[in-house]
Chain A
Amino acid sequence: MAYDKFNILKTTGVPLPIENVDTDQIIPARFLKATERKGFGDNLFRDWRYNPDNSPKEDFVLNNPTFSGKILVGGKNFGSGSSREHAAWAVYDYGFRCVVSSFFADIFKNNCLNIGVLPVQVSAPFLEKIFEAIYADPKTELVVNLPEQTITLTTTGESESFDINNYKKDNMLNGFDDIDYLLNIKENIREFAEDTPL
């Protein structure tokens, strides 16, 4: 599915300094019943965000107007658990374009890359600095520069580079997806399949 191109993102960040945030927290299974990709942002972090009577939990960061922005900053091992792409959809649909953490679960990271959310892995000390900077001043902006593969704290100018393979980087910069690529090599696939019994 096509998504918006990603180039340079300059925005404030929303801090969620919890480790092992699993996909059941990002979007609980009972909200996976849709047959279309619509409205998942409403249930992002549903059970951390709302009480059972659907009133907002005031102490949860998404309900705190002090914090906003297009970057979600999470603790170590972000996105562990299920393969539900709905978790990445919920993050995107809510309005985040980038998730920063010191470590990502594998499938969640792939899912993000496939739908146009950039996972940026930073060192644990830099992650701490980001949290500190945001808590000190929620208006602190971060710059995520995909062409240069850097993330910078505008307040101090401190910066780190991050990894992404060239192929995925190119996709994100251009808004391409893997199916476009695969359809172009369909004949190679067909030849391969003929030699591969069911």
Chain B
Amino acid sequence: MKKTLFDKVWDSHVVHKIENGPDVLFIDRHMVHEVTSPVAFLGLKSRGIPVMYPGRTFATADHNTPTINQHLPVEDPLSANQLKALEENSKAHGISYWGLGHEKNGIVHVVGPEYGITQPGATIVCGDSHTSTHGAFGAIAFGIGTSEVEMVLATQCIMQQKAKSMRINVNGKLSKGVTPKDVALYIISKLTTSGATGYFVEYAGDVFRNMTMEGRMTVCNLSIEMGARGGMIAPDEKTFEYIKGREFTPVGADWDKAMEYWETLKTDEGATFDKEITFDAADIEPMITYGTNPGMGIGISNGIPTAESVEGGVATYKKSLQYMAFHEGDNMIGKPIDFVFLGSCTNGRIEDFRAFASIVKGRKKADNVTAWLVPGSHKVESAIKEEGILDILHDAGFELREPGCSACLAMNDDKVPAGKYAVSTSNRNFEGRQGPGSRTLLASPLVAAAAAVTGKVTDPRGLMQEELV
């Protein structure tokens, strides 16, 4: 029988099948962070059971950490308590813990790939919906709730019904200024935030083949924003090249054995999907969102659609525009903004900082803009310094903060004030997501950079200069 990539990885991890019920799926790697794990550890304690395979679990602190003065004690007592709980739980159960100040600390979905924890054909879960990021390597990776975190800690398994399959093809060549973020926002704008609910997505076609690994991570990261549990891309030479030599990547004979498996990880010719959609790369321009969910995105040169022209309820749509204080038909270009956030598990990697720097180089941050540039990890932070990007940022009037999830979900002090507009490279523009009353415009690092130097929504294509070396 012809199998999809998703079938191959899923089927090889099924420990047990329950009739008219879920599959018991073995989890190769489990990542935990401070926010969604404490209650799971408490559950283990009350049951009196240990972590079954502590070597398969990795802990990092990211969601609830400050992005300045990380060398000092965490000021907020609740946050400090949560960080302490993760540290103690990790220690008690023999789990690797990359806490604040640790050289490997960073956003869970940034550090996983950086250290080779993320590998093709693996099953990876984490109590965070953007776990889909790791699908860029041909892994089945998805977010879970705290009860499931406890399940994986206790038994290294999860109970899930196998999702339906969807293939999204994007063929052709992307135009100048169109980044992986734009491709993802474009797809979500076409599918809506619930268009892929119940499906696991495979991304295929020239655009993804030609994309860097970091670009693929950005795309897979956003799978959840169209409702999909996860998204994946078949591994290829680029994937193998990326993971080779990383700390947790197999070496020698183990590498050869792993490669034998990894090279089988592609959808068989003739395998069928429950749903298949194809887009043309030429139709995509730099994107920006105007509403309160990631599906409310448009090409940056377009006007805001009318309520009648979009799918869904008119009342909900109007409520959304009212929250944003935007009107049907408004042009996005030229709208004044107050904040710029570069970072998150979506766009907090070195290529994102290179892209941002390529626009701000030789220019100055607009006076009306507060910019938070937050690397996804210490490794990214080091690269920013080593590549001379930090100097470019400083010359343009920007500061670099310390790694963490930061203003993406605003659990720490990085909160956009009520009524203010932020152009953000993160993943959600929900009401209040970046702070109570905040208004978020999701976009790529190029669009964020253009906004940062002009103080308003600006088409980055007019500002693009020679690429950084």
Contacts and interface: CB of A to CB of B under 8 A. Distances in A.
Contact of B21 (A30, A75, A165, A182): A165
B411 A111 contact: no
Interface in A25-80: 25, 28-30, 32-37, 47, 52, 75-77, 80
Contact of B410 (A22, A30, A168, A183): A30
Contact count band on A: 35 or more
Interface stretch (A6-14, A146-154, A187-195): A187-195
A47 B432 contact: yes
Contacts of A197: 250, 254
B20 A166 contact: yes
Given A82-B129, A107-B229, A182-B159, A19 B26 contact: no
Q: Give the secondary structure class of B's interface.
A: loop
A177 interface: yes
Interface stretch (B39-47, B267-275, B350-358, B370-378): B39-47
B313 interface: yes
Interface string B15-48: 1101111101010100000011011001100010
Contact of B22 (A84, A165, A196): A165
A83 interface: yes
Nearest to B76: A33
Contacts of A30: 410-411, 436
Contact of B155 (A32, A88, A114, A182): A182
A52 B436 contact: yes
Contact of A178 (B35, B147, B312): B147
Contact of B145 (A22, A85, A189, A196): A85
Contacts of B150: 1, 179
Contact of B143 (A86, A107, A182): A107
Contacts of A177: 147
B319 A88 contact: no
A110 interface: yes
18 contacts: A20-B193, A22-B428, A28-B432, A29-B410, A36-B39, A37-B42, A77-B227, A82-B143, A114-B148, A165-B20, A166-B20, A177-B147, A182-B155, A183-B49, A188-B15, A189-B24, A189-B26, A197-B250
Given A20-B312, A47-B431, 7 more contacts: A1-B150, A18-B315, A20-B293, A33-B81, A36-B39, A167-B21, A178-B147
